[in-house]
Amino acid sequence: MSHYVTPFVVLNLGSEMVFVVAQRLQAQNVPLDRTNLVLDEIISVLISKQLMTELMKPQATYSHEAVRDIIEDVTQSSMMRLDPTSMNKLWDLITMVFKWQVTVSEDVIAITLRHLYEIENYVTNPETQLQLHKVQNLVDNFNKILSNKEKKELRDDILYWLKDSNVRVSLLLRMGLQNMEGIFITENLDPLAAKMLKNLGENIYSVTQNGRILEKNQNRSEPEVNELKLFVDQILGERKMGSGNDNRKMLRLAINDQNGNNNEEETKKGFDSIDVNTDDNQVQEMMKDMVVGDKEDGSLRDDLLAMIGGEDLNE
């Protein structure tokens, strides 16, 4: 059994979460400076020295509940807040996309590295970027630390951890990557979907034009606004994009909110008890020079909108 399942699960799910949040902020026309602030804050917590040191210790795999708690803490460490419904849908989406990636590829380390390279596109703070480079190097060093047998064990254990995640996700269904029984499709794919298999870990929303694989009927054309509305309706959940002031009311940022310091303190509570000691000398050596940058204060009072439409196949 691999003792390093947890960091790979958290980093991959966390990166997929960043992709979803980035797409949601873009769909809601949130100003770029505020989008950058939200994403940078989330990434800085995901890759922080404190969290990475705890996760990289050789240990038994965290439970689903423990990993989800980490993802929730990371997601809400910025100015953004999610209600339970949105978090449930976000969790379904990121776990199923990651399960699809690990199912169709044997190289978990490569998937993780591509995720980490992709989220760097959203980093604007130099300290966060430096920390991210150190985490990238740390993950890359697992190629040297782990034998081929250990790498296979890592992938097998991750798949076992994901075995109970069985949700039909609109994103994967629309792209022809999942059938109505929830089974992943790997043959006779659209050329763009087939190309994605060579670059697993890329931002699936970016490389597929917000989840849209080429239309079956190439002669059919629809206004772009209708395509975007269809994407939001099917992929991002129950609430739909409207017009006028309604969109702006869905997501409000209060960067200078007086409660910003309290929010930051609450965020840090989840990591206050982390033990930074590690029994693995190789990992410990790689962790020595990692640094943590300070975060800016801020709060977002509105919930993040629902992300996806999905149906649990276990029910």
| pLDDT tens profile 93-150 | 999 999 999 998 999 999 999 999 999 999 999 999 999 999 999 999 999 999 999 9
Helix axes of 108-119 and 84-104: crossing angle, nearest 10 degrees: 130
pLDDT of residue 137: 95
Per-residue pLDDT tens digits for 83-106: 788 888 899 999 999 999 999 899
Distances (CA, A) of 133 to 23, 55, 116, 127, 209: 23, 17, 9, 10, 27
Q: Do residues 79 and 162 make contact, with C-beta atoms less than 8 angstroms apart?
A: no
pLDDT of residue 229: 47
Please name which of 289, 275, 294, 307 lies closest in space to residue 45, comparing C-alpha atoms: 294
pLDDT of residue 210: 53
Mean pLDDT by 10 residues, the chain (315 residues): 94 96 87 91 94 94 96 83 83 93 94 96 94 95 94 96 90 83 82 77 72 42 43 45 36 35 44 42 53 36 36 55
> Given phi > 0 = left and psi -120 to 50 = alpha, else beta, which region is 51?
alpha
pTM of the model: 0.70
> Given phi > 0 = left and psi -120 to 50 = alpha, else beta, which region is 55?
alpha
